[in-house]
Structure 1
């Protein structure tokens, strides 16, 4: 859907709309979306140079995310221009550069100021960034709750972490599941551990394996295969049998992973 929207906008010469659509597609895992986002920079540069803060903010984000380091000076220039014009996405992007020292000298105080300005203007990702910098845990949770209203999975996972630290395990599990359903690998792993160990719920080994299996499709998470190793440990300890693993695979939408797990544990002698 986003790719089609982007192509139609590009055909109409609406480079900002096209760029936003292609970036959304890329954020959902489309390699073609990422490639098309780089191509629309040709149309965005004249608009940004003519003073469009929105084009500058979008251009900075694309340069930062989808180009190599040679594009970094341009990313900084356009992010700074968009931030100076008060554009929330530009403030957030330039704030991130200042926070991490990407192309500029680190300045955490200035980064926080920019995140706050963007968050106050309604930028949900800036809320997430600011939540990780503020000292007040109540403010941090409020910012994360605000970001979840825009469906940002990371916000829900961080909110769950906060609640877990307060031993509010049932609420934490609710948010881990919310984020896991939106594809956050860390939340999937946390939900699996909650079901395995009985935090915030009664132990449920089937749902534990279900979420351990789900992490396999998300290598951008821990990336170390912990989920499958823990599922194997559960099976070998007798916490789940083959039929329960198959049910977990059904819930995860990946019966093939369940059969692979069964084969790893029992070979051709599954109980």
Structure 2
């Protein structure tokens, strides 16, 4: 969808819209999207040099994400220009460079100022970044909640961490699940472990194995051994593993787990 959107924008000569669409495709794992994002920089440069802050911010992000270090000085230059023009995306990008010392001298205070300006303008990723810098826990939580309203899964996972530290485990689990359902593998692992151990809920081995299996489907195999150990412990039977696989949308891996634990015996009880 994003690739088609980008191509239509490119055909219309709207290079900024095309670049944004290609970047969105790349963020969803499209190698073609990443390639097209790099190619569109040729058409973005004249726009950025002509004073388009939006083109400059987009160009900086593409250089930073998809080019090697030879493009870093240009990434800094365009990010600084976009931030100086007051564009929230530019403020956030340049703030990130300052925070991490990427191509510039590290300046945490200036980064926080830029994140705050962008967050006040409604930039959700700036809210996420600023939430990790402020000292006030209530403000941090408000910023994270603002980021979650934009669907940022990392914000939900971080919010869950903060709530867990306050022993608000039921709320924390809800946010881990929210982030897990949006593809955050760290939140998947947390949800699986909390269901296994009964944090924020009663122990539920089916849900635990479900999220361990979803992690695997997302390319993270860290929970596989925990799922096997849980099945071997007698906490659930083969039928429950199959139910976990159904909930995870991965019945094949559930059958493989059953074979590993019970030697392929066609039984619902080990």
Please give the TM-score of this superposition, normalised by the length of structure 2. Answer: 0.96
1:51 counterpart SS class: coil
Counting matched residue pairs gives 267
Residue 263 of structure 1 deviates from its aligned partner by 2.3
Determine whether 1:244 maps to 2:204: no
Measured in 2, the distance between the counterparts of 1:263 and 1:57 equals 52
Find the counterpart in structure 2 of residue 253 from structure 1: 249
Residue 264 of structure 1 deviates from its aligned partner by 2.3
Find the counterpart in structure 1 of residue 88 from structure 2: 88
Q: Within 5 A, what are the aligned runs for 1:130-209? A: 130-209=130-209
2:167 counterpart SS class: coil
Determine whether 1:227 maps to 2:227: no
Measured in 2, the distance between the counterparts of 1:70 and 1:261 equals 47
Q: Within 5 A, what are the aligned runs for 1:21-60? A: 21-60=21-60
Measured in 2, the distance between the counterparts of 1:173 and 1:215 equals 16
Measured in 2, the distance between the counterparts of 1:49 and 1:267 equals 65
Over 6 Å off, 4+ runs: none
Gaps spanning 5+ residues in structure 2: where? none
Measured in 2, the distance between the counterparts of 1:96 and 1:263 equals 47
Measured in 2, the distance between the counterparts of 1:194 and 1:25 equals 33
Find the counterpart in structure 2 of residue 19 from structure 1: 19
Please give the TM-score of this superposition, normalised by the length of structure 1. Answer: 0.96
Measured in 2, the distance between the counterparts of 1:257 and 1:60 equals 41
Aligned Cα root-mean-square deviation (Å): 1.1
Measured in 2, the distance between the counterparts of 1:234 and 1:98 equals 45
Measured in 2, the distance between the counterparts of 1:160 and 1:205 equals 21
